[in-house]
Amino acid sequence: MAGGTLAAHRRLMAAFVFWWALFALAASAAADLGASEKDEPEAVLRATTIWSVERARSGDRIGLAVVMQIAPGFHINANEAQIDPQPAFSPFPTQIAILETSPGVVPETPLFPAAHTIEADFAPNPLKVFDGKIPVIIPMKVPPAFSEESLQIKIALKYQACDATTCLFPQEITLTAKLPAATDSRPPAAVAPELFAGMHPAVQSVPDDFTFSLLGLSMTWPAAGAGLSLILALAVVGGLLLNFTPCVLPLIPIKIMSLSNAAQSRLRCLLLGMATFAGLMTFWLLLGLVIALSSEFTAVSQLFQIPFFTISVGIVIAVLAVSMCGGFSIPLPQFIYRWNPKQETFTGAFGIGLLSAILSTPCTAPVMGTMAAWAATQNPGLTLLIFAAIGTGMALPYLVLSAAPGLVMRIPRSGPMGALIKETMGLFLMAAAIYFLGAGLSALTVEPPDPPARAYWWAVMGFIAAGGLWASYRLVAVTRRRLVKGVCILVGLSVLAASVWGGWRFTDDGPIEWVYYTEERSQQALEEDRVVVMVFTAAWCLNCKALEHSVLRSRTVVELLDQEDVVAMKVDITANNPAGLARLKSTGYLTIPLIVVLSPDGREVMKRSFYTANDLVEAIASARLSQ
């Protein structure tokens, strides 16, 4: 009996040891597997950061290198700009997003090296990839009066590692880099200059390559030699086109009539044209100087993010408009009369040039948005040169007309027709004045992320209708031909109808249920596996309005944005909206309009300043493939 009990105890002990050993073995295997899974992304790709200098000195342009070391046998996809389209396959692009920076620091678009091409079993076409050791450079400006103890930047690196046959899940690494601030004005020592060649402060006279984007198409060429000449030529052409923006256009007849009054004296006509040229150049050079020396100011349109500036512009235009309509019959301060176009003075010509340049800034895209954004990242000398070319192009028509007064001799200088032109242009300018006043006041009263008020558009359209009806009425009164009378009445009624339609369209909420941007709302949409269509806009951006009404209200787009798996999100930067401005900066763009389509995994499928309904449809379809 005792022997049986002992044998039973031995069997029980053996079973206990067996199961304990099995459990320990399983636990060890699970731990090894868990560690393998946890360490796998780090083992495949390790990322470190290197600063271009040992200290952050105020006003310097420095760089941060994100160095990725990719394990042998693996690769990661190229960045979005280098990835070639694949049929029925969307490679996950390598991305670097700026999450946080020290106050006033302006990171520029990350500079990726050139990718190379490989064949992979899982891709129908060759892939553009990175492997081995890959440095990505993030240039940035240190604020002129940097007072922090250190410069800090937090970034997110997103990538997908693959071998020749399979791909791992996309990964994200968060990196924080700190650089001590310089304690004196001595130039800080350079670090790894070969890594930062082409952007280091010591060699920053070598400009970055220029990428010209228009309607979704882009071209890149070196910004040196003949390439720089082409950039300057584009800046001149872009400046010339700014004369035909909606707010500048009413000023052209005023200036032509002013030159016509002075055309009898060739010298005086030329001097007035030179005064207008000086006004235009003063604005563009001052703006270029501010952008070159300030890290806080990086885009032309930022002027209109200051409500008091927008309101001031509206007041000046209103004064000019009332002057043109003959409203200065009561005594006013002498400085107001200087804006009166009836007086062909050098001060008035200078003021018209200055005002023309200011009015063009909300409409700098598409050509000038690209140009100004690129110029803002270059050395101060090149920045000023680009803005001088823009001013030259804008002043070119006035210089030509003033140098050849015979071209304006036949323009009516007085009499009923001359008065009618001034009065009509005055009413149109009053519409522009109300537009700027309304945009500025709505920016003062709005609380981001809520949209600004839009009721002022009815007053804008009211003055446009008044201009058209007044011109029609006066022309009908002076003409004798019935056909001409009928055409004038028809034009006046058409302007009235268009104004009513415009007032309704610009104040209507529209058929799309917009979600106004916050970081939490954006993240929630992605967590719900929804495609995010992010539209950057502002009340003062006329190009934004044109795109929203021509593309985003088309029936196809409205139906698409209304679907459950798509979120239509607006980022309105009319007022002081730090979160919206930070989101704009994180895209690598400095100007609006802009649209960004995000797939549910956060990948940027489309990022463009100008787009068509078909572009948007294709981008959303591509974003859905990653669900």
Residue where a domain stops, chosen among 474, 491, 508: 508
Six token digits for residue 136: 């990505």
Residue where a domain stops, chosen among 203, 221, 249: 203
Same domain, 106 and 163: yes
Same domain, 166 and 314: no
Same domain, 339 and 366: yes
CATH code at position 523: 3.40.30.10
Chain Cα centroid distance, residue 37: 40
Task: Give residue for tokens 């009908």.
Answer: 476
Other CB atoms within 10 Å distance of the CB of residue 566 = 18
Other CB atoms within 10 Å distance of the CB of residue 318 = 17
Same domain, 431 and 308: yes
Same domain, 363 and 266: yes
Six token digits for residue 257: 């009539």
Rounded CA separation 129/351 (Å): 55
Quick one: three-class SS letters along 296-317? CCCCHHHHHHCHHHHHHHHHHH
For residue 10, is it within any domain?
A: no
- Please name the amino acid found at residue 261: N
For residue 391, is it within any domain?
A: yes
Exposure string for 236-275, b = 16+ CB within 10 A, e = fewer: bbbbbbbbebebbebbbbbbbbbbbbbbeeeebbbebbbb
Same domain, 262 and 297: yes
Model confidence pLDDT, tens digit, residues 283-312: 888 877 776 665 555 555 666 777 887 888
Number of domains forming the structure of the chain: 4
For residue 16, is it within any domain?
A: no
Same domain, 174 and 294: no
For residue 164, is it within any domain?
A: yes
pLDDT the model gives residue 533:
93
Six token digits for residue 576: 């002081």
Rounded CA separation 161/167 (Å): 6
Same domain, 486 and 616: no
Tell me the sheet residues that pair with 532: 567, 598
Chain Cα centroid distance, residue 172: 26
DSSP 410-469: TS--SHHHHHHHHHHHHHHHHHHHHHHHHHHHHHHH--TTSPPP-THHHHHHHHHHHHHH
pLDDT the model gives residue 130:
92
Question: 65 φ, ψ to 5°?
Answer: -95, 125
Please, are residues 355 and 287 in contact by the beta-carbon 8 Å criterion? no
Question: 430 φ, ψ to 5°?
Answer: -65, -35
**What SS3 class is residue 489?**
helix
pTM of the model: 0.54
For residue 484, is it within any domain?
A: yes
Please, are residues 219 and 237 in contact by the beta-carbon 8 Å criterion? no
- Please name the amino acid found at residue 489: I
Residue ranges for the chain with pLDDT beneath 70: 1-42, 85-89, 197-225, 246-247, 249-250, 252-264, 291-303, 323-344, 361-380, 405-418, 588-590, 626-627
478: Cβ–Cβ under 8 A, 6 or more apart, which residues?
416
Six token digits for residue 444: 């003062």
- The residue segments making up the domain with residue 162 are 45-203
Same domain, 329 and 442: yes
Same domain, 440 and 469: no
Please, are residues 288 and 381 in contact by the beta-carbon 8 Å criterion? no
DSSP 527-596: HTT-EEEEEEE-TT-HHHHHHHHHTTTSHHHHHHHTSTTEEEEEEE-SS--HHHHHHHHHTT--SSSEEE
CA distances from 122 to 40, 83, 194 (A): 21, 16, 36
* CA count, 13 A, side-chain hemisphere, 81: 17
For residue 28, is it within any domain?
A: no
CA distances from 433 to 377, 459, 476, 485, 583 (A): 33, 10, 28, 31, 30
Other CB atoms within 10 Å distance of the CB of residue 59 = 16
Helix count and strand count (H, E) for the chain: 17, 18
Task: Give residue for tokens 């040196």.
Answer: 224
For residue 396, is it within any domain?
A: yes
Same domain, 79 and 165: yes
Same domain, 503 and 520: no
Nearest to 299 by CA among 241, 247, 380, 364: 364
Six token digits for residue 493: 């009624």
Rounded CA separation 367/369 (Å): 6
90: Cβ–Cβ under 8 A, 6 or more apart, which residues?
599, 603, 605, 622, 625, 626
**Kind of pairing, strands 95-101 and 150-159?**
antiparallel
CATH code at position 64: 2.60.40.1250
